[in-house]
Structure 1
Amino acid sequence: MKSEHMLSRRGFCLCCIGVAGFAATGGWLSPRDAYAEARGLVSLIKDSAAKSAIATHKLRNGITILEGSGGNVAVLSGKDGLVMVDAGISVSRKQMSKALAEISPAPVTHLINTHWHFDHADGNAWIGSQGADIIAHENTRRYLSQVQRVEDWDYNFLPVAKSGEPQHVFSREHTLKLNGETAVLKYYGPAHTDGDISVMFREADVLHVGDTYWNGIYPFIDHSTGGSIDGMIAASEANLAASTDKTIIIPGHGNPVSNRAELGDFRDMLVAIRENVAKLKRQGRSLDEVVEAKPTAAFDAKWGQFVIDPAFFTKLVYAGV
């Protein structure tokens, strides 16, 4: 079981390209090739998610992580039903339903979206159709309810079905009291997108930070919907301020059970690479010249070994400084 899920632990939904691409190419698709064919990439992601098993990680106070359908999903169980943070990809419905039933036979009563990206919110429609209240930041609902383009993927995402649209939105902060937990939802401001929120389960001291934190891999930053490197750094600072050494931190992608020390390493990496790229850009270097200068080199061995390679991450940072 451990080796079967190593891919999703080390990566994220986009990493699923390898499963479908391996047979076709005789090896892993390179990050650059994958992003150059983004329309096929989204299909490959969905094809892989349809087949992937779901790994479960039990935490404390009735909180479980489900890993294997897009971003890392948190589930809080108890007398008020199941409360989910993120929904994965809809083609994983069979596996997700099985995993949820193994946690509890109770229905999903609440679904919280950390942001709008399909590997976190595509499952909204089937979960919402079963009666769950869907909660998100107001910008997330806007993106989910319209055709939304991601330039870096050269892809237009269709609106979710009506059943998958968040019914309850907020602008800054929202609190839920369910299953003996106080869930505090906080808006970051523009970060990975401009609709990202954190979810702190206060009594359990478990913090889901969505895609503002990618554990052990370079993150994607969606400039098309308001993301920036500065926003990612600010979100990391907010996450560090909201946590202690005892807090369990759930990243959007990568190893799903993390902590403040690992998050601090992520923040430090972002800050250092941002400064390296900004310095080169201030010198008048073009994007190609900055990429060639390898401003991420000191971090590539740890962070640059998966889908978002050093060159692509440099491009994302360059666009935001």
Structure 2
Amino acid sequence: MLRFILLSILTSLFTGNMLNAQRFDGVEIETIQISDHVYMLKGAGGNIGVSIGDDGIFIIDDQFAPLTKKIEAAIKTLSDKEIKFLVNTHHHGDHTGGNQNMQKLGATIIAHDNVRHRLETPQKRDNSIQPKEALPIITFNDELNIHINGEKIAVFHAEHAHTDGDALLYFTKSNVLHTGDTYFKERYPFIDLDSGGSVDGYIKAVKLGLKTINDTTKIIPGHGSLSNKEEYETFLNMLETLRDAIEIEIYAGKTEEDVAKNEALTKSFDDLNYGSGFINSEKIRRTFYKSLKG
């Protein structure tokens, strides 16, 4: 009987892994050149930033584990240098799923203190933890500067924004900002309240990013196409408009269900398809209510 149970578990795990890998069979990695040595890679999951040069290859985020070979192949078309560093902008699996694979390819993984903590803490759904090889080995609590490929990359923490471990990265010479998931271009953002995220912190993160850049900065959002300052400011306006509207509802004594059902609160942005992504209009109203009420 025990043998049968063990066989069933192994079969289930194998089948699950096969199906998970097949999810990504049709994914293609798109490479977009931003400057003479900085690139953006799009696939499935969070957008990847890549810097290439004489010092080696520097990567921001790595999407899902089954995509590592495709990501590596895309990078190989840009440079045959070694992968030196990988920065995780936060702990979510669509940005860190390839960590273990990248470490095996030679990457030193860097992230905020809270990212390592969350990756090595059992996850609620399956009580799993990341293997040691997937964990950041260099962590920081506020700011960090990385000097590679002829420029300084400023890494700074945004407190309680998308999560409690978000990092934004600014390429000081190339004038490129990678926001991680503190920016979903033309979509309502996912604010992970269970992982320390908050509406006010998210807005502060966008303001921090805007304070760092200028009118010609190229922006790699966590999700969406390459962006710019004007679009980033439009995103901030959406966040502040929703916050103000839902705060008024809260002060008026409205419940979460009242706000969730009130489509008028988000209609102007729903009409621009902001709710067509991972977070729809009802979810964003609930998220704002829970965060602001709390």
**TM-score, normalized by length of structure 2?**
0.89
Secondary structure of 1:56's counterpart equals: strand
Of 199, 206, 214 in structure 2, the residue corresponding to residue 236 of structure 1 is: 206
Q: Which has the higher contact order (CA 8 A, sep 6+)?
A: 1
Using the TM superposition, give the Cα deviation of residue 94 of structure 1 relative to its aligned residue in structure 2, in angstroms.
2.2
Question: What are the within-5 Å matches in structure 2 for residues 119-138 of structure 1?
Answer: 119-138=94-113
Matched, 1:258 2:257: no
Give the Cα–Cα distance (whole angstroms) in 2 for the partners of residues 267 and 197 of structure 1.
Answer: 18
Matched, 1:315 2:290: no
Using the TM superposition, give the Cα deviation of residue 310 of structure 1 relative to its aligned residue in structure 2, in angstroms.
0.2
2:260 is matched with 291
Of 280, 283, 286 in structure 1, the residue corresponding to residue 249 of structure 2 is: 280
**What amino acid is the match of 2:129?**
P
Deviations 1:178-234 (A, max 9, x none): 111211100111100010011111000101010000001111000111001111100
Secondary structure of 2:237's counterpart equals: helix
Cα gap change, 1:185 to 1:157, in 2 (>3 Å): farther
Secondary structure of 2:159's counterpart equals: coil
1:87 is matched with 62
1:218 is matched with 188
**What amino acid is the match of 1:210?**
G
Matched, 1:187 2:162: no
Using the TM superposition, give the Cα deviation of residue 280 of structure 1 relative to its aligned residue in structure 2, in angstroms.
0.9
What is the aligned residue count? Answer: 274
Aligned-residue CA RMSD (Å): 1.7
1:113 is matched with 88
Give the Cα–Cα distance (whole angstroms) in 2 for the partners of residues 157 and 203 of structure 1.
Answer: 43
Secondary structure of 2:291's counterpart equals: coil
Of 38, 62, 72 in structure 2, the residue corresponding to residue 97 of structure 1 is: 72
**What amino acid is the match of 1:79?**
D
**What amino acid is the match of 2:84?**
T
2:177 is matched with 207
**What amino acid is the match of 1:66?**
L
Cα gap change, 1:46 to 1:247, in 2 (>3 Å): farther
Identical-residue share of aligned pairs (%): 34
**What amino acid is the match of 2:137?**
Q
Give the Cα–Cα distance (whole angstroms) in 1 for the partners of residues 205 and 61 of structure 2.
Answer: 18
Using the TM superposition, give the Cα deviation of residue 47 of structure 1 relative to its aligned residue in structure 2, in angstroms.
4.7
CA contact (8 A) 1:218 1:304 kept: yes
Using the TM superposition, give the Cα deviation of residue 75 of structure 1 relative to its aligned residue in structure 2, in angstroms.
0.5
**What amino acid is the match of 2:240?**
V
2:123 is matched with 148
Question: What are the within-5 Å matches in structure 2 for residues 5-20 of structure 1?
Answer: none
Deviations 1:35-85 (A, max 9, x none): xxxxxxxx9886533430111101103011110131000000011111000
Decide which structure has the larger Cα Rg and report it. Answer: 2
Give the Cα–Cα distance (whole angstroms) in 1 for the partners of residues 238 and 161 of structure 2.
Answer: 16
CA contact (8 A) 1:77 1:103 kept: yes
Give the Cα–Cα distance (whole angstroms) in 2 for the partners of residues 44 and 65 of structure 1.
Answer: 28
Deviations 1:219-255 (A, max 9, x none): 1000111001111100011111001001111100011
Cα gap change, 1:269 to 1:289, in 2 (>3 Å): same
Deviations 1:75-108 (A, max 9, x none): 0001111100011110112211211111111121
Cα gap change, 1:156 to 1:253, in 2 (>3 Å): farther
Give the Cα–Cα distance (whole angstroms) in 1 for the partners of residues 200 and 54 of structure 2.
Answer: 41
Cα gap change, 1:160 to 1:99, in 2 (>3 Å): same
**TM-score, normalized by length of structure 1?**
0.82
Give the Cα–Cα distance (whole angstroms) in 1 for the partners of residues 23 and 267 of structure 2.
Answer: 31
Matched, 1:64 2:39: yes
